[in-house]
Structure 1
Amino acid sequence: MELDYSSDGIVRLLRTPPEQRSLPWLKDALQQAIMLELATLPPYLCGMWSLLQDTDSGKAAAAAIRVIVFDEMSHLGHVCNLLTTIGGSPRLADESVLAPYPCPLPGGVRPEINPDLEVYLGGLTKDSVEMYSQIEAPEEPLAQFAAAEETFTSIGAFYTAILEAFRVHQGEIRGTRQLTRSMGHHGEGNSLFPIRTFADVEQAITVIKEQGEGTDKTPDNPFPGHAGELSHYYVFREIFRGRKLKKIQETPPKWDFQGDPIPFPNARPMGRVPKGGWANDPGTVPDAAVQAELDKGNTAFSAMLHALEKAWEQDRPEDADPHMDDAIGHMFALKGPALKLMDMPLPNDPAKRYGPEFRFVATP
């Protein structure tokens, strides 16, 4: 399958009858999953960095989104391990697999709660938190959204299809080019572990699905970093609704946003990045100072992707570790330019600020 973020690759993969889902089908599906995991990180990072931690709610929101960001990075790692264990090679440092914000989710994924969802880069607002929760929404939320009349392809359904394909192709699990990394301090499911058996596959996919969506019985994150941690969807819904999620009925279990109030946090007023980047809109063309910070951020982002791709190309873990260390260093280097940009007013709207673009640079 040709790699193209804007294609309907996931939808086409799921149209393939289960009995025809071959090993190449599984490799294509996992590359699409990599694109999906990569697409969520920049919007969450923009929201997190925009937060002003001048109130308790701001500090709590920043901490909660930081946990989610690390979860999503771990999910990307799990998917890369799933691909290399069956002989595939993750593609990350390639403009064709990256989200051209603003854009839909990749592969034709359309959440039931909003089939027209547009993913964009901007500061933390009510609208952006709504977008985050729509990305993470389970097929049947325990609270907040009503079921849609029409059924669309959800992220959870896609990962379920991947799991079932692995069940058929268990003999192809080789345990090759597996990265390991101890990250239990970020959450029980965050450490990268080698995928050598079907049970390992089940564990990795369970972590990805349930950290984001919860389960069909509880909104809690089954793989938390701290006691009482909710899955991503319900964290975002609490921020949006301005109330803690509370269990209001035992039998059958029922939850609603009737707990303690949560004031909406203050945030830097980052504007929405236009299609193609700030320079692509005549009203937001950067001056030299802004462009310098944009270049720093784009270069760090691209270098991170190159380092990650290189890490999963190595046959021996000891050869992969330096590349993974480089990737982590580049990830932390993203924050400085982002914060500087969020203090730089837009020329066509001084009440709004610039922010990172997450554009790919072919040779960082």
Structure 2
Amino acid sequence: MTTPFKQPNDSKRQKLIPDNAFPELQAKAVMAVNSIESEVVAADDDTIFDAKLAELKRMLQTALELEHSTIPPYLCALYSIKPGTNLTATEIIKSVVLEEMLHMIMVANLINAVNGKPCIGAKETDNDGNFIPDYPTPLPGNVDPKLNVSLACFSKESIRTFWKIEHPEGGFAIPEELLQKGEKSYPSIGAFYEALVKDITALETMASQKGKTIFTGDPARQVPSEHYYGAGGKIITVFNLEDAKNVIGEIVGQGEGTLGSIFSEPFNPGDERYLMFGPTVEEYAHYFRFKEVHYERYYAPTDSAHRDSPNHGLPTGKKFEVDWEAVCKMKPNPKMSDYPKGSPLYEKTYDFNKTYSALLDNINEACNGRPAALRDGIMLMYDLKYKAIELMNIPREDGLMAGPSFEYVKS
């Protein structure tokens, strides 16, 4: 049976990124190994290695926050669609949300694999910052720093923002002011993960030369598929370097669908990496699914993903209906502080945030040694949806509707 967000006649799932998708990364990793090793040899001290490993764990925590940061905006768009309308768009956004939740769990598995501690919701200390971004916000980790992400209703503007979030590597340049400051920045989520693969590979290579491994985490802290209640694919547990690369390949594949091939120069019409659609592909990457919603049509099997192709990377297949007015037009980026404390809207917004915080606490518990706890969060997810929709149907004095603010509140 064909679901609304798939091209007709899709039957088999094809890997969005093949097993050998990281040749450039492996080459870069060798360079990184040589660079890091020279530092260690010069210092003749394990201190540098330990510092690099600690930095890797911080970067993995940023990856966790990066994956999460997309979920509240996607949920706002999803919940704002009026019931019974925009069925295809609803299915597309819902499928993306489920995959982003899956990515969060798999990044937590990565953190646990290198004996780190995933922090979801609350942080250990106030100095650790906030897990939930203060919207409007740039993406965590200096990913595409010029992009600002808001909580807003379903619209062409929000969908354009979503595809920019999922934009494949090569589409944007790092702002010159960040380059001059020497800050780590990444033109895309894929580039961020490419750096992660490089660092993980380099550190594991160094450790293996000493007969050790960086994958020293307790296997019992991994969240396996049998404990995951959502759809969006199968969880990958992480015990070694190959598993780590598979996790990152799955995350990038579901999000961007490619590691830079869309923007490679010059355009080669015969390169199969550009042909990412058709009957052998069960579902497309988030970037392409959001493009389908924006242009109100599916990708055709013969479409090319490259922007210099005859279809300019845009969908040319069968059209479907999108009613951009069939939405609850919530105030962008609402806050509890918008309302007097104790007022009905304050209490309803606080109640939503309490439910969302409880859901994050539940996921945090599951990813920190009690994976079976994930199933306890199913009812929280339903409650979250109903409370968000209730808020989006309450008019404000300015003519807009209220909406969920996604703020963390301690229980």
| Amino acid in the other structure paired with 1:186 | A
The corresponding residue for 1:144 is none
Q: 1:200 aligns with which of 243, 263, 275?
A: 243
Deviation at 1:329, TM superposition (A): 3.1
Q: 2:293 aligns with which of 226, 239, 243?
A: 239
- Matches of 1:45 and 1:219 in 2, distance apart? 30
CA contact (8 A) 2:305 2:314 kept: no
Residues 62-95 of structure 1 deviation map (CA, whole Å, 9 limit, x = unaligned): 1111111110000000100000111100111226
Structure 1 segments unaligned to the other structure (5+ residues): 1-16, 141-146
Q: 1:299 aligns with which of 334, 354, 379?
A: 354
Query: Do the aligned partners of residues 278 and 250 (structure 1) sit closer, same or farther apart at CA in structure 2, a change above 3 Å counting?
Result: closer
Deviation at 1:206, TM superposition (A): 0.5
- Matches of 1:148 and 1:79 in 2, distance apart? 25
Indicate the RMSD between aligned Cα atoms, in angstroms: 2.9
Query: Do the aligned partners of residues 85 and 233 (structure 1) sit closer, same or farther apart at CA in structure 2, a change above 3 Å counting?
Result: same
Residues 119-146 of structure 1 deviation map (CA, whole Å, 9 limit, x = unaligned): 1111101111111111011114xxxxxx
Query: Do the aligned partners of residues 175 and 253 (structure 1) sit closer, same or farther apart at CA in structure 2, a change above 3 Å counting?
Result: farther
CA contact (8 A) 2:336 2:350 kept: no
The corresponding residue for 2:371 is 320
The corresponding residue for 1:172 is 214
Residues 80-113 of structure 1 deviation map (CA, whole Å, 9 limit, x = unaligned): 0000111100111226222001111112211xxx
Residues 214-245 of structure 1 deviation map (CA, whole Å, 9 limit, x = unaligned): 123147489x9x95421101111111123322
CA contact (8 A) 1:92 1:305 kept: yes
CA contact (8 A) 1:219 1:234 kept: no
- Matches of 1:44 and 1:326 in 2, distance apart? 23
Query: Do the aligned partners of residues 341 and 228 (structure 1) sit closer, same or farther apart at CA in structure 2, a change above 3 Å counting?
Result: same
Deviation at 1:305, TM superposition (A): 1.5
Superposed, 1:244-283 pairs within 5 Å as 244-246=298-300, 247-248=302-303, 255-265=313-323, 266-274=326-334, 277-280=335-338
Determine which structure has greater relative contact order: mean sequence separation of CA pairs < 8 Å that are 6+ residues apart, divided by chain length.
2
| Amino acid in the other structure paired with 1:91 | C
Superposed, 1:53-92 pairs within 5 Å as 53-55=83-85, 58-92=86-120
| Amino acid in the other structure paired with 2:286 | H
Is it true that 1:44 corresponds to 2:74 in the alignment?
Answer: yes
The corresponding residue for 1:136 is 166
The corresponding residue for 1:308 is 363
- Matches of 1:237 and 1:278 in 2, distance apart? 33
Query: Do the aligned partners of residues 233 and 248 (structure 1) sit closer, same or farther apart at CA in structure 2, a change above 3 Å counting?
Result: closer
Query: Do the aligned partners of residues 235 and 38 (structure 1) sit closer, same or farther apart at CA in structure 2, a change above 3 Å counting?
Result: same
SS of equivalent to 2:386: helix
CA contact (8 A) 2:62 2:141 kept: yes
Deviation at 1:278, TM superposition (A): 4.6
CA contact (8 A) 1:302 1:362 kept: yes
Could you tell which deviates more after superposition, 213-222 or 83-92? 213-222
Structure 2 segments unaligned to the other structure (5+ residues): 1-31, 37-48, 123-128, 176-184, 205-212, 262-272
Deviation at 1:288, TM superposition (A): 3.1
- Matches of 1:191 and 1:103 in 2, distance apart? 30
- Matches of 1:28 and 1:250 in 2, distance apart? 34
| Amino acid in the other structure paired with 1:168 | A
| Amino acid in the other structure paired with 1:179 | V
The corresponding residue for 1:96 is 130
| Amino acid in the other structure paired with 1:326 | D
Query: Do the aligned partners of residues 89 and 156 (structure 1) sit closer, same or farther apart at CA in structure 2, a change above 3 Å counting?
Result: same
SS of equivalent to 1:345: coil
- Matches of 2:254 and 2:348 in 1, distance apart? 33
Count, aligned residues: 319
CA contact (8 A) 1:175 1:194 kept: no
The corresponding residue for 2:396 is 346
Deviation at 1:193, TM superposition (A): 3.1
CA contact (8 A) 1:293 1:338 kept: no
Query: Do the aligned partners of residues 336 and 308 (structure 1) sit closer, same or farther apart at CA in structure 2, a change above 3 Å counting?
Result: same
- Matches of 2:366 and 2:379 in 1, distance apart? 14
**TM value normalised by structure 2:** 0.71
Is it true that 1:212 corresponds to 2:266 in the alignment?
Answer: no
Query: Do the aligned partners of residues 287 and 123 (structure 1) sit closer, same or farther apart at CA in structure 2, a change above 3 Å counting?
Result: farther
Greater gyration radius: 2
SS of equivalent to 1:256: coil
Query: Do the aligned partners of residues 198 and 337 (structure 1) sit closer, same or farther apart at CA in structure 2, a change above 3 Å counting?
Result: same
**TM value normalised by structure 1:** 0.79
CA contact (8 A) 1:219 1:231 kept: no
The corresponding residue for 2:142 is 108
Deviation at 1:330, TM superposition (A): 2.1
Query: Do the aligned partners of residues 180 and 131 (structure 1) sit closer, same or farther apart at CA in structure 2, a change above 3 Å counting?
Result: same
- Matches of 2:401 and 2:386 in 1, distance apart? 15
Aligned-residue identity in percent: 29
Q: 2:345 aligns with which of 283, 286, 290?
A: 290
SS of equivalent to 1:116: coil
